Structure 1
Amino acid sequence: MKQQFIAYLKDESGQTSTEYILLVAVAAAIVVKFKGVIISKLGLGDEGGGVMGSVFDKVGTEIDSM
């Protein structure tokens, strides 16, 4: 039993998908956190945010509803 537990702890298969999910989650959190800075730097303010403004509005609405 002890040998199987040690082998389980040493086994690293399957961690890559978890790592990718964490990276995507961190990237999404950074984008949402700095939404205002991104919009102002790209010149996508209230006067015609276009597609980017629409995307950020939808993401913000979904996050607020959680």
Structure 2
Amino acid sequence: YHGSGIGLAMCKKIVEFHGGTIAIDPDHTDGTRITFTLATAPPETADHHAAPAGPALDSGERKP
């Protein structure tokens, strides 16, 4: 049974989010071997929910 491949795509996103890499081992000939690395320390990430940085607006100013 051939899968849709979504599981490997999810693994790739998780590994890369944690600062690692994922690859197929080309030297392995008995099936497919997936290898991955992870960073020794968590990568620095920006808070995607924070307000964008920029100059403060005065009470009468509006953003364009």
Q: Fold conserved (TM > 0.5)? A: no
Query: Which has the larger Rg?
Result: 2
The TM-score normalised by the length of structure 2 is 0.29
The TM-score normalised by the length of structure 1 is 0.28
Higher relative helix content? 1
